[in-house]
Amino acid sequence: MNIHSSINPSRSMTAHDFAVWGMQDIAYIKRVVINDEVGWAIHGADGTNIGLAHDRALAFAAVRQHDLEPVSVH
C-alpha cells in the first residue's frame, strides 16, 4: 500500500477548514496574566474563549470533563 495514495495535493485547507479542525475534540490551554494574577485560559479550536481556571490542573480536568482533549499552548 502506498501511503501517499490517500493524499490529494489539489485540495488544500481553507482558513475556515483550519479554524474548525479539531473543534469537536480539542481545547487549548494557555497561561495568562489578568490583573497581575496567573490564570489558565481555555480556548476552542477556533480560538473562542470557553473558560478560565485558577490553575493548570483544574483547566485540564475541566476540559477532560467535557470529553475534549486538552492541548497546552506556549
pLDDT the model gives residue 32: 97
**Residues in CB range of 38: below 8 A, 6 or more apart:** 31, 32
Asked whether the predicted pLDDT for residue 74 surpasses 70, the reply is yes
32 neighbors 21 (Cβ within 8 angstroms): no
Cβ-based burial of 68 (10 A; exposed 0-12, middle 13-18, buried ≥19): buried
pLDDT of residue 45: 79
16-69 confidence digits (pLDDT tens): 776 666 667 889 999 999 999 999 999 987 788 999 999 999 999 999 999 999
